[in-house]
């Protein structure tokens, strides 16, 4: 028998740092304690292994504190950032499905905090084949299948180019549209399943998908609530677009099939730089007529230094990018947004 234990961490640290508190750590015990996170800062740091041993030994196995399981596939949910986590999960699920595994999937219960991720998981996997496990509990099983995971994965091969953004002033750019958006084989596998359903649903011509403060709460997957708020827009942004006949949609209100249909049958879509644009790009397989991408100043390092604009825009015919936007909605910002809408 093997014992599994995982420690849930979400203490408000940076979502991108090499810190033990940034990730959920998993430990197994056969003859000795072994940390099965393959992150370099854990593997190369004996103190962090000792940290796990201390946690592990602090909990005694009692009759009502463990569960006997046969062979299982561990779907590790190590990180809290939803964008990176979804790709991480799909990478693991592809291995499970491609190899036609028949065993149960075990995954941390906290994943239910994110409705979209939960919908994805239960879209591809029979709900009866998923076992949600708790932190602070030791589980017994006969065998476990584990897939090594990285922080994130590039799920597409897109045009990678940058904008000549040399200041922090708000700027509107008319940018060449994205030409290539070729998925990696694992993501293509999942998106193709949705695409082949070929459902029909209502159409929304002008869609709004941006991160505003009213959409962030302490129960989201973000490891740092304050960090996320600092890179979000005031609600006045959303009000402005709604007053210009855009519809703000919430993926929690739709099935996976319905959400895919909405994104691929709209005429214009407004996206904000970050997880929102990075993830929704994955689900947009048709060529959208118009895309406006809003870049919050908090992402300055990404769009100014990493030169990865292609990572955040879907295939489209016309593209406008507005960079260096601050959270507060001003008259200057209103004028630039109005110009972008006129250009559609």
Q: Is-contact 143 102, C-beta < 8 A?
A: no
Tens digit of each residue's pLDDT (9 = 90 or more) over 217-239: 655 555 567 778 889 999 999 99
What is the value of pTM for the model shown? 0.88
What is the rounded distance in angstroms from the CA atom of residue 331 to the CA atom of residue 14? 32
CA-based nearest residue to 271, from 241, 288, 255, 291: 291
C-alpha dihedral over 49, 51, 57, 58, to 10 degrees? -170
Residue 2's H or E segment, with its range, is strand 2-7
User: H or E element: which one contains 259?
Assistant: helix 256-264
* H or E stretch at 117: helix 115-124
In this structure, what DSSP letter does residue 304 have?
I
Q: How far apart are CA 258 and CA 263, in angstroms?
A: 9
For residue 34, the model assigns a pLDDT of 80
Closest CA to 257 of 323, 179, 191, 326: 191
* pLDDT attached to residue 63: 47
pLDDT at 150: 62
41 Cβ contact list (under 8 Å, min separation 6):
18, 19, 48
3-state helix, strand, coil in the chain (%, to 5): 40, 20, 40
291 in Cβ contact with 314 (< 8 Å): yes
What is the full per-residue pLDDT of the chain (344 aa) written as tens digits?
788 888 887 665 545 556 666 678 888 887 777 888 877 667 666 666 666 677 666 665 544 555 667 899 999 888 777 777 888 888 899 999 999 999 999 999 888 878 888 999 999 999 999 999 888 788 888 889 998 766 555 566 555 566 777 789 999 998 877 666 667 788 889 999 999 998 999 999 999 999 999 887 655 555 567 778 889 999 999 999 999 999 999 988 999 999 999 999 999 999 999 889 988 988 998 989 999 999 999 999 888 887 778 788 888 889 999 999 999 999 999 999 999 999 98
């Amino acid at each position: 028998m093997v014992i599994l234990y995982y420690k849930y961490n979400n203490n408000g640290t940076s979502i991108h740092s090499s810190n033990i508190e940034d990730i959920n750590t998993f430990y197994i015990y056969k003859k000795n304690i072994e940390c099965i996170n393959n992150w370099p800062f854990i593997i190369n740091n004996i103190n962090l292994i000792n940290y796990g041993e201390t946690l592990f030994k602090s909990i005694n196995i009692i009759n009502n504190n463990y569960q006997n399981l046969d062979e299982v596939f561990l779907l590790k949910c190590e990180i809290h950032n939803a964008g990176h986590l979804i790709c991480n999960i799909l990478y693991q699920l592809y291995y499970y499905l491609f190899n036609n595994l028949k065993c149960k999937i075990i995954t941390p219960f906290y994943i239910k905090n994110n409705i979209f991720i939960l919908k994805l998981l239960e879209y591809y996997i029979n709900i009866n084949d998923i076992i949600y496990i708790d932190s602070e509990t030791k589980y017994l099983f006969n065998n476990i299948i584990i897939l090594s995971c990285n922080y994130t994965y590039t799920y597409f091969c897109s045009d990678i180019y940058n904008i000549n953004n040399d200041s922090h002033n708000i700027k509107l750019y008319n940018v060449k549209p994205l030409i290539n958006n070729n998925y990696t084989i694992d993501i293509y596998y999942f998106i193709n399943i949705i695409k082949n359903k070929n459902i029909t649903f209502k159409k929304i011509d002008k869609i709004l998908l941006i991160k505003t403060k009213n959409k962030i709460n302490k129960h989201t997957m973000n490891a740092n609530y304050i960090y996320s708020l600092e890179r979000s827009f005031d609600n006045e942004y959303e009000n402005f677009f709604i007053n210009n006949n855009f519809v703000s949609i919430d993926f929690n209100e739709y099935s996976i099939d319905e959400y895919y249909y909405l994104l691929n049958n709209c005429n214009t879509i407004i996206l904000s730089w970050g997880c929102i644009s990075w993830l929704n790009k994955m689900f947009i397989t048709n060529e959208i007529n118009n895309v406006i991408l809003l870049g919050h100043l908090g992402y300055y390092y990404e769009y100014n230094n990493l030169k990865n604009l292609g990572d955040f825009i879907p295939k489209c015919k016309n593209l406008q990018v507005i960079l260096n936007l601050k959270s507060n909605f001003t008259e200057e910002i209103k004028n630039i947004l109005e110009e972008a809408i006129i250009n559609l």
